[in-house]
Amino acid sequence: MPPGELATRISVWLALLLWLASEWLALNPRRLRLRQWLFGLSAAVFLAHVCLAFHVFYSWSQTTALADVRRQTREVTGLEWSIGLWINYGFAALWILEAFWLCLWAVHHAPRPRWVTWLVRGVFWFMAFNGAVVFVKGPQKWLGLVICLFVIATWWAEWKLARAKSLVQLSSSR
């Protein structure tokens, strides 16, 4: 595998693993600083992945990128769509914005409505699942599945902790 392709592939897996680690750290509020660093780093690595992919696979050609995404989508789903590229652009923007919000304005990030957090998480999980499981060939598909399942387990544990905490608060207020 050529070095550019290897770097592109490694960068996306590294971004996913950093994101996973930052989600796991959400279980421990005392580790907020480390979580911020890991999430910010995951966004930076993902942005590097996007730039590498555009350089290595598409030679900075939007037309080439759209054609390749259309081809990949047809191979996997049977649909001749290139909208996935635009969705990826939106996802990259969301990841960067979320990183800035968490890292620079954490005081405003934590109290946001829970539905916003879960909507963002849902988008992240959907993109990770599609990028690391659905559109991947070979044994990496299993790594993607493990990452996606581990993220769900982490969120489940976080939900259980929050539920237990609210039950304790409810019982102590009586």
User: pLDDT tens across 36-77, in order?
Assistant: 999 999 999 999 999 999 999 999 999 999 999 999 999 999
Residue 18: the pLDDT is: 97
Tell me the pLDDT of the chain averaged across its residues: 92
Q: Which of 29 and 152 is assigned the larger pLDDT?
A: 152
Q: Which amino acid is at 124?
A: F
Residue 173: the pLDDT is: 66
Residue 64: the pLDDT is: 97
Instruction: Please tell me the distance from the alpha carbon of residue 50 to that of residue 16, in angstroms, as a whole number.
Output: 13
Tokens 């990183």: give the residue: 99
Pick from 49, 43, 48: nearest CA to 18:
43
pTM as predicted: 0.89
Domain housing 53:
3-172
Instruction: Please tell me the distance from the alpha carbon of residue 148 to that of residue 171, in angstroms, as a whole number.
Output: 35
Instruction: Please tell me the distance from the alpha carbon of residue 151 to that of residue 133, in angstroms, as a whole number.
Output: 14
State pLDDT tens for residues 79-136.
Answer: 999 999 999 999 999 999 999 999 888 777 778 898 999 999 999 999 999 999 999 9
Residue 174: the pLDDT is: 62
Residue 79: the pLDDT is: 94
Band (pLDDT 50/70/90 cuts) for residue 149 is very high
Instruction: Please tell me the distance from the alpha carbon of residue 33 to that of residue 25, in angstroms, as a whole number.
Output: 10
Whether the per-residue pLDDT at 150 is higher than 90: the answer is: yes
Q: How many independent structural domains does the chain possess?
A: 1
Radius of gyration (Cα) for the chain, nearest Å?
18
